[in-house]
Amino acid sequence: MRKLSLVVVAAMLLATGNVLANDTKGENPTRNLSNQISEMLSDNTFSIEHNDLTAQVRFTLNADGEIVVLSVNTEFDEMESFVKAKLNYQKVNLANVEEGKVYTIPVRIEG
């Protein structure tokens, strides 16, 4: 009987250790990437007449963790060149970079 209770206690300790070892707060890499891009695009010089500009930006990350802009889908040419100039080959801080994965994010810039 004593050995049985010892085995049960050991099993409970192992199970509890495994549950506590999991990282429940895990950082969302896409959210982190979106925040970094937002910060890169925050300094703009668009006039008030061009407020609320939107675009769809497709990009990938290279092996060095740099953004490589594939396309910027917008009706405003100046915004396209602005986004490409601000983002292309800018290094981002991500723990696990998936090289070659294509991301598409909506971008909205207020003048």
Q: 18-73 pLDDT, tens per residue? A: 666 655 555 677 788 888 888 888 887 776 566 678 889 999 999 888 999 999 99
Residue with tokens 């080959």: 89
Burial of 13 (0-12, 13-18, 19+ CB in 10 A): exposed
What 33-37 contacts at long range (C-beta under 8 Å, 24+ apart), as own/partner pairs, is: 33/92, 33/94, 33/103, 34/105, 36/92, 36/93, 37/67, 37/87, 37/92, 37/105, 37/107
Its pTM stands at: 0.68
